[in-house]
Amino acid sequence: MAEVIKSACPLNCWDSCGLLVTVDNNKVVKVEGDPSHPITKGKICGRGRMLETRTNSPERILYPLKKVNGEFKQISWEQALDEISHKMMEIKEQHGSTAVLHSHDYSNNGILKNLDQRFFNMYGGVTELYGSLCWGAGIEAQKWDFGDAYGHEPEDVLESKNIIIWGRNVARTNMHFYEKLLEAKKNGAKIYVIDPMFNATAKIADEYISIKPGMDGLLAVGIIKEILRLGMEDRNFILHHSQGFEDLENLVDGISLEEISEMTEVPIEIIRSFANIYADKPTSTFMGLGLQRYKNGGNTIRLIDALVAVSGNIGISGGGANYANLQVGQSFDVANLTMSDRRSSHRQFSIMRQAEEVLAAVDPIIEMIIVTCGNPLTQVPDSTLVEKAFSSVSTLVVIDQFMTDTAALADYVLPTGTSFEEEDIYYSSMYHHYVNYGPKFVSAPGEAKSDLWIWTQLAQRLGFGDVFNSSREQLLNLSLQSLAEKGKTLVELKERGTLELPVKYVPWHDFKFKTASGKYEFTTMDKGEEGKLTLAVPEESKWNNPELAENYPYSLLTIHPLRSNHSQNYHLYSKAPQLKIEVSEDIAASKNLKTGDYVRVWNDRGEVKGQLSILPKAHPNTINIDEGIWKKFGGSVNALTSSRESDNGLGSTLYDCLVNIEKIN
Ligand code: SF4
């Protein structure tokens, strides 16, 4: 008989939804929203619903696979684990444990996914990746300004008079916040959307401001300049709770409003009007995770933070520079799971430049790559080079549920379970502050196993099986240790399905910042000259590289797809997806292109081909190709993107990318 079970969406998404999953005869038959979840209240998106297809898909990998003479052959778990552990032992003896690279990402938010790090630390410490393809530059930027990246709790936006949605299409990526915006609008708040694309969120805005991609920081400088000219800055905050304001004043004096307007392609009257909007407090700012994907990305977020600070919108209800909410993840004892103190060696490669670093590695060279929770061949910039690097190592092991582009290149593919096939807890440090419980309620198909089982088996063969000698329950309790001290236990979480985490609803309300000075830092004290804000613009722009801009006149964005969580769902669509190339109306007009044309987009790094579609009201000279599409469907769009790092070294520059386009037959 069918049963409905409370569960949680595991996808790396802002919303971390509560689910109700209907199970019949050990089979997931329906995935719906859980109306009792305090934030997500029964509504979920198509990506969440597709977890049913994901779990039941006939394309699931059912057995361990080994590539022999270019073909995958089914092998036993015994053979797979013996051979991989034997190779790992040999590598450690001959080259040291850092000759293994652990390439990972965040396809799944389950806390026990962190156990991969426990395994690699106990093995001796491997080469790990630092930074983030997604939000890294912005997180680091807010750490420089505030000491940490904290956001306001979801209800607080209802206190805002003005809400600025800056480079974030919440209708697509953060649907429960979209609902809150509708509520705020009904209560009289004004909504402003700043974005190069006229997206679904812009449709509900009181005003939409179209901006040239990558120029958001400069727009913030313009608004600050006007606030200062009108004397509307918050002198009390600046005087008592910040440092480095003189540097900011000097910076804004170095450029005119006319220059800013010309460079950002935002009219002066609009820049001026935003000074009044920010001064009419409380004004909240919600930044997206695309603004920072430029060489100048960290500086961009810092300039928007500075605008929020100058206007006195920090630490007040209805205000805030909302980018992420790391308070959520900080509620858990992840260190207990990862045991980083047990490793004896350690080496780090940049996640953006992992291909170059693998190819250039010496002492030791990379002998083996193990991929978890990711699909680097599709998602890492400059994918042609990534394929070369991942093909160059003696052994590539991929743990996945499906034959992704990366898995297809592997020597061994180990099949793992979906979130409905293993127990875990789920949260997201992007939006709300509730943790959700997800029990196991169906068996994994074929011989697919949980990641924990795989690590335990490998650990036993490598001589440290004792540290994996714990049940899932014990490991979950370990990760909840400090919450349990505050009376929030696993027992309660299991009973209720979700628990509120102890976070500050309005961060920085006491104006005690986590920076070295304890103040908000317009200039970051401990970073020397680097700590000063600048007027930087994208690396691939006419200002920094006129010749490149001549050859490649169009800005390429690679935004989050509507129906897939990055690369995770494309193969599950009922109709095979095609690469869609969306262009602004002016490009279509000047190149005589129309919807449905087959076109090529290229630059010096590579090319992709696909079908053209016209983006109404997009900023001139802008192209978008949704990220994540697989090679077999025409991707990866990362054949075009650069592996360059952001200014602060911790983020990607995926949107800092100029291209050209032509019609082909
Ligand atoms: S993908 Fe995001 S919005 Fe969709 S169901 Fe999962 S958590 Fe909710």
Q: 236-255: per-residue pLDDT in tens?
A: 999 999 999 999 999 999 99
Rounded to 5 degrees, what are φ and ψ at 474? -65, -40
CA distance 443 to 450: 10
The Cα angle at residue 547 between residues 617 and 386, in degrees rounded to 5: 80
What the chain holds in terms of domains, given with CATH numbers, is: 3-56 (3.30.200.210), 65-133+351-500 (3.40.50.740), 137-323 (3.40.228.10), 546-663 (2.40.40.20)
Give me the sheet containing 3-8, strands edge to edge.
3-8, 18-24, 27-33
Query: Taking residues 215-226, what's their average pLDDT?
Result: 98
Ligand 1 center to 314 CA (angstroms): 29
CB of 626 closer than 6 angstroms to any ligand 1 atom? no
**Residue whose CA is closest, atom 8 of ligand 1?**
17
Distance of CA 574 from the midpoint of ligand 1 (Å): 20
369, burial (CB in 10 Å: exposed 0-12, middle 13-18, buried 19+) = buried
Is 267 strand, coil or helix?
A: coil
pLDDT at 635: 85
Arithmetic mean of pLDDT, 404-431: 97
- Place 665 in a pLDDT band, splitting at 50, 70 and 90: confident
Which of 260, 168, 269, 195 has its CA nearest to residue 222?
Answer: 260
Query: Measured in angstroms, how far is the CA atom of residue 621 from the centroid of ligand 1?
Result: 32
Torsion of CA 514, 517, 518, 521, to 10 degrees: -70
17 lines ligand 1 (CB under 6 A): yes
**Confidence class of residue 109 from pLDDT cuts 50, 70 and 90?**
confident
pLDDT beyond 90 at 547: yes
Q: Is the minimum distance from the CB of 44 to ligand 1 under 6 angstroms? A: yes
CA of 30 to the centre of ligand 1 (A): 15
Q: Report which ligand 1 atom has the smallest distance to the Cα of 175.
A: 3
The candidate with the shortest Cα–Cα distance to 556, out of 654, 437, 466, is 654
Q: Distance, CA 350 to ligand 1 centroid (Å)?
A: 29
For residue 58, pLDDT over 90 is answered with yes
Whether the CB of 19 sits within 6 Å of ligand 1: no
Ligand 1 near 9 CB (within 6 A): yes
- Ligand 1 atom closest to the Cα of residue 9 is 6
pLDDT, tens digit, 9 for 90 and up, residues 554-599:
999 999 999 999 999 999 999 999 999 999 999 999 999 999 999 9
Predicted confidence (pLDDT) per residue in 345-358, tens digit: 999 999 999 999 99
Mutate to test the pocket of ligand 1, among 44, 108, 176 (most ligand atoms within 8 A of CB): 44
Per-residue pLDDT band at 97 (split at 50, 70, 90): very high
Q: How many angstroms is it from 353 CA to the middle of ligand 1?
A: 30
By mean pLDDT, which of 92-96, 408-412, 616-620, 631-635 is the weakest? 631-635
Rounded to the nearest angstrom, the distance between the alpha carbon of 9 and the centre of ligand 1 is 6
The DSSP call for residue 632 is: G
- Judge if the beta carbon of residue 176 lies within 6 A of ligand 1: no
Contacts of 293 (CB under 8 A, 6+ apart): 137, 646, 651, 652, 653, 654, 655, 656
What are 421-468's pLDDT values in tens digits?
Answer: 999 999 999 999 999 999 999 999 999 999 999 999 999 999 999 999
Asked if residue 13 has pLDDT above 90, the reply is: yes
Nearest CA to ligand 1 atom 6: 48
CB of 45 within 6 A of ligand 1: the answer is yes
Look at residue 325 and tell me whether its pLDDT is greater than 90.
Answer: yes
What integer best gives the mean pLDDT of the chain?
A: 97
Q: What is the pLDDT of residue 649?
A: 96
Overall pTM surpassing 0.95 (yes/no): yes
**What per-residue confidence (pLDDT) applies to 83?**
98
Query: What is the mean pLDDT of the segment spanning 33-51?
Result: 97
Nearest-CA residue for ligand 1 atom 7 is: 16
The closest of 640, 646, 566 to 379, measured between CA atoms, is 566
How many whole angstroms separate alpha carbon 313 and alpha carbon 320?
Answer: 6
CA–centroid distance, 51 to ligand 1, in Å, is 10
- Asked whether 51 lines ligand 1 (CB < 6 A), one says no
Q: Is the pLDDT of residue 108 over 90?
A: no
Q: Given the CA of residue 49, which atom of ligand 1 is nearest to it?
A: 5
Please tell me if the CB atom of residue 48 comes closer than 6 angstroms to any atom of ligand 1: yes
Please write the tens of the pLDDT for every residue from 599-617: 999 999 999 999 999 999 9
Q: Note the pLDDT of residue 48.
A: 96
Q: Give the mean pLDDT of 29-56.
A: 97
Given CA atoms 350, 355, 360, 364 in this order, what sign does their dihedral have? positive
Alpha-carbon distance of 445 to 448, in angstroms, equals 6
Contact between 61 and 413 under an 8 Å Cβ cutoff? The reply is yes
Pairing of the two strands 347-350 and 127-130: parallel
